């Protein structure tokens, strides 16, 4: 695949490309599956997708470690308490925005 004038393989190691391919497959599978699943599964799948991508980013920059830890901490909250999940995701988003 080309990105601008470069092949992706030149810009990224094969292991990263493989992990990103897996992330895309997970996201697409989730998009297909969500219509048959309980409503609370959708945010959990989105959080898992974010975690997969953050795992990759964390290899290159440890500033993503805290975010991935927070995402992993709240992954199951949509099943337990929607209100708590929304509160926690707002806290994480605020912290993320403030970090820029």
Give the pLDDT score at 2.
53
Q: pLDDT tens string for the chain (100 positions)?
A: 555 555 666 778 888 888 889 999 999 988 888 788 888 888 888 999 999 999 999 988 898 999 999 999 998 888 888 899 999 999 999 998 998 8
Give the separation between CA 32 and CA 60, rounded to whole angstroms: 31
Residues 7 and 5: their CA atoms lie apart, in Å, by 7
- Residue 52: CB atoms within 10 A of its CB come to 19
pTM value is 0.78
φ/ψ of residue 3, rounded to 5 = -125, 105
Cα–Cα distance measured from residue 30 to residue 45, given in angstroms and rounded to the nearest whole number: 7
Locus of tokens 């209100």 = 83
């Amino acid at each position: 695949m080309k990105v601008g004038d470069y092949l992706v393989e030149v810009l990224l190691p094969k292991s990263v490309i493989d992990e990103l391919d897996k992330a895309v497959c997970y996201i697409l599978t989730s998009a297909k599956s969500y219509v048959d699943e309980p409503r609370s599964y959708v945010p959990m799948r989105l959080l898992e997708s974010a975690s997969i991508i953050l795992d990759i980013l964390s290899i290159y920059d440890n500033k993503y470690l805290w975010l991935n830890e927070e995402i992993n901490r709240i992954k199951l909250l949509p099943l337990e308490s929607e209100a708590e999940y929304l509160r926690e995701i707002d806290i994480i988003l605020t912290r993320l925005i403030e970090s820029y």
